[in-house]
Amino acid sequence: MRASAALAVELDRRRPGRTVVRALRSAAPLTLVPRAGAARPEAGAAAVVHLVSSAPAPLGGDELELTVRVGPGARLRLHGVAATLALPGHRSVPSHSVVRIEVAEGARVDYLPEPTVVTARAWHRAELRVELAGHAVARCREVLVLGRSGEPAGRLHSAVHVRRAGVPLLRQSVDLGPDELADSPAVLAGHRVLATEVIAWPDVVEPAGGDWWALSPLAAGGALATALAPDAVTAQRLLANARAAHPAAADLAEPAW
């Protein structure tokens, strides 16, 4: 299966301060659903769009691509609805998903998908590429779960590339699976969930950490929150601990829907 979806938001010229969805194209299994009531957003509020998996995917051999553009001064919250299951296909080839996000000057994006579960015998490659203008901000989360409860993990390669005005903020890749030293203290230390959150904010960040979580400043600005946990719920709670240590903690709080 090959599927390509796209989303674009921008400020409404007729209603200053309001972000509206200008372009939306879904392609199963990548279904984009604006939040009910988003047609009349409040001034200064973000446009809210949910990412729904409308078919079992990705299967081995699938190629999925999502392109997101946030116009100057606009605000977008792109949320997942349910976990993504990476499943084995009929052939021994990987599935591949690519998310590309462009954030223009003065804009903000919160990309908060639900966890990706790499099931037994699956082989999945995930790539996130974020291009930020000089004064754009972004928050991008990734929660990787190695196998469903009681089953071994499949194979996973995850890569995250974030740039601001052409300057790299973060280039990170990880390879996990049954052949890797997952129990090593240098990898997952016996945990089955790795959660990260890139926080490309202008604040100066001091390093912070606790049991199985850390908030690390990036050399070119911003921070990376990381958590290891036995399950996705615990991992997201630990990420919340890392966000609480950030200078912009109040602005990073999860909204109550």
Going from N- to C-terminal start, the domains of the chain cover: 2-247
pLDDT of 190: 81
Least confident residue range of 100-114, 137-151, 175-189: 175-189
The number of CA neighbours under 13 Å toward the Cβ of 113 is: 23
Rounded Cα distance between 105 and 118, Å, is 36
pLDDT by residue (tens digit) across 98-128? Answer: 999 999 999 999 999 999 999 999 999 999 9
Residue 124 and residue 95 in contact, taking contact as beta carbons nearer than 8 Å: yes
Average pLDDT, the chain: 90
pLDDT of 41: 54
Name the percent of the chain lying above pLDDT 70: 93
The yes-or-no verdict on residue 74 having pLDDT over 80 is yes
pLDDT of 150: 80
* CA distance from start to end of the chain: 33
Q: How far is C-alpha 35 from the chain's CA centre?
A: 18
Q: If DSSP codes are grouped into helix, strand and coil, which group holds residue 143?
A: strand
Confidence band, pLDDT 50/70/90 cuts, at residue 256: low
Rounded Cα distance between 159 and 173, Å, is 4
Residues in Cβ contact with 238 at an 8 Å cutoff, skipping those fewer than 6 apart:
195, 210, 212, 213, 227, 228, 229
pLDDT of 5: 96
Least confident residue range of 52-61, 132-141, 156-165: 52-61
Q: pTM (2 decimals)?
A: 0.93
The number of CA neighbours under 13 Å toward the Cβ of 9 is: 29
pLDDT of 176: 87
Q: What is the mean pLDDT of residues 166-190?
A: 81
Rounded Cα distance between 111 and 122, Å, is 25
Residues in Cβ contact with 178 at an 8 Å cutoff, skipping those fewer than 6 apart:
152, 153, 154, 155
Q: If DSSP codes are grouped into helix, strand and coil, which group holds residue 236?
A: helix
The yes-or-no verdict on residue 211 having pLDDT over 60 is yes
Cα–Cα distance list, 127 to 49, 60, 66, 93, 191 (Å): 20, 16, 11, 16, 22
pLDDT of 39: 46
Spell out where the chain has E strands.
2-11, 19-25, 30-34, 47-53, 63-70, 75-80, 84-86, 95-103, 108-112, 116-118, 123-132, 137-146, 155-164, 167-176, 193-200, 208-210, 213-217, 223-229
Residue 25 and residue 8 in contact, taking contact as beta carbons nearer than 8 Å: no
Confidence band, pLDDT 50/70/90 cuts, at residue 144: very high
pLDDT of 182: 64
pLDDT by residue (tens digit) across 25-54? Answer: 999 899 999 986 544 556 668 999 999 987
Residues in Cβ contact with 13 at an 8 Å cutoff, skipping those fewer than 6 apart:
none
The yes-or-no verdict on residue 57 having pLDDT over 70 is yes
Residue, of 66 and 192, whose pLDDT is higher: 66
